[in-house]
């Protein structure tokens, strides 16, 4: 599993460009929002949690189309399906590699970009917490979408259409945690819901992704 993780990390940096592409997209979204809504500090502060969460979600989405495509093209998926390592574990490792190269950099960059949107001081810590809890679910759900569309020509658009509705609960509760944290409100309910969504996704979706891959590899 460690060898597979190291291989996927190397491929992500060499071939996919997901690391730099996701951060660049996140930066562009954050910079353009003040131009579109105006420079009012109070308005930017009120929308900053939602904008940062939406930017992180879309940045994660950008790199999903190459998550399994390279392995499909060079036959690695066929080898993984017949390897002693369970396919569910292999899918989990790929989701972890995606989070390490895409989700984790977005978590680290979010507080810096929050300055551009005048995010209130108390919101920085809760923004990081919400992204740490929510972005693993984005990677795992994205792996499921990539498994559904692997091998399809021009499957990127279909992948986005399939995955975006599944991202909505994570977006809602993640942005709500960041918003309530910035405003000093009680955030126990959205925080627990976000943690529950991520825990359920990490525990269950790899089995669904592996089942879909087995069907596609027949």
Angle formed at CA 58 by CA 57 and CA 64, multiple of 5 degrees:
95
Q: Are 213 and 144 in contact (CB under 8 A)?
A: no
pLDDT reading at 101 higher than 70: yes
Confidence of residue 18 (pLDDT cuts 50, 70, 90): low
pLDDT at 155: 64
Average pLDDT, the chain: 87
Statement: residue 208 has pLDDT above 70: yes
Q: What is residue 163's predicted lDDT score, i.e. its pLDDT?
A: 92
pLDDT value of position 139: 93
Residue 15 pLDDT grade (very low, low, confident, very high; cuts 50, 70, 90): low
Dihedral sign, CA of 156, 52, 166, 85? positive
pLDDT at residue number 158? 83
Per the CB < 8 A criterion, the answer to whether 88 and 210 are in contact is yes
Quote the DSSP letter at residue 85.
S
Average pLDDT for residues 192-213, to the nearest whole number? Answer: 94
The pLDDT value given to residue 166: 94
Q: What is the pLDDT of residues 82-97, one digit of tens each?
A: 777 888 888 999 899 8
Of all residues in the chain, what percent carry a pLDDT higher than 70?
Answer: 95
Q: What domain count does the chain have?
A: 1
State the pLDDT confidence band at 65, using cuts at 50, 70 and 90: confident
Give the pLDDT score at 129.
95
Residues in CB range of 103: below 8 A, 6 or more apart = 56, 60, 131, 135, 136, 138, 139
pTM: 0.90
Phi, psi of 85 (to 5 degrees): -70, 125
19 band by pLDDT with thresholds 50, 70 and 90: low
Residue 72 has pLDDT above 80, yes or no: no
Percent of the chain's residues with pLDDT above 90? 43
Domain containing 132 equals: 2-216
pLDDT tens-digit map of 124-151: 999 999 999 999 999 999 999 988 888 7
């Amino acid at each position: 599993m460690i060898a597979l993780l190291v291989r996927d990390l190397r491929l992500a940096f060499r071939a996919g460009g997901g690391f730099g592409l996701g951060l660049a997209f996140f930066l562009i979204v954050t910079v353009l929002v003040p131009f579109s809504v105006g420079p009012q500090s109070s308005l930017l502060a009120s929308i900053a949690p939602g904008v940062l969460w939406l930017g992180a979600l879309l940045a994660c989405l950008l790199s999903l189309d190459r998550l399994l495509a390279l392995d499909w093209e060079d036959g690695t998926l066929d080898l993984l399906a017949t390897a002693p390592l369970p396919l569910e574990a292999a899918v989990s490792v790929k989701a972890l590699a995606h989070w390490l190269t895409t989700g984790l950099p977005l978590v680290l960059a979010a507080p810096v970009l929050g300055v551009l949107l005048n995010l209130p001081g108390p919101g920085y810590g809760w923004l990081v917490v919400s992204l740490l809890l929510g972005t693993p679910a984005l990677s795992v759900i994205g792996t499921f979408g990539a498994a559904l569309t692997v091998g399809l020509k021009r499957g990127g658009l279909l992948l986005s259409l399939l995955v975006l509705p599944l991202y909505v609960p994570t977006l809602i509760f993640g942005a709500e945690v960041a918003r309530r944290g910035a405003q000093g409100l009680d955030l126990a309910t959205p925080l627990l819901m976000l943690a529950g969504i991520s825990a359920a996704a990490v525990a269950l979706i790899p089995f669904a992704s592996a089942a879909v891959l087995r069907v596609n590899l027949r």
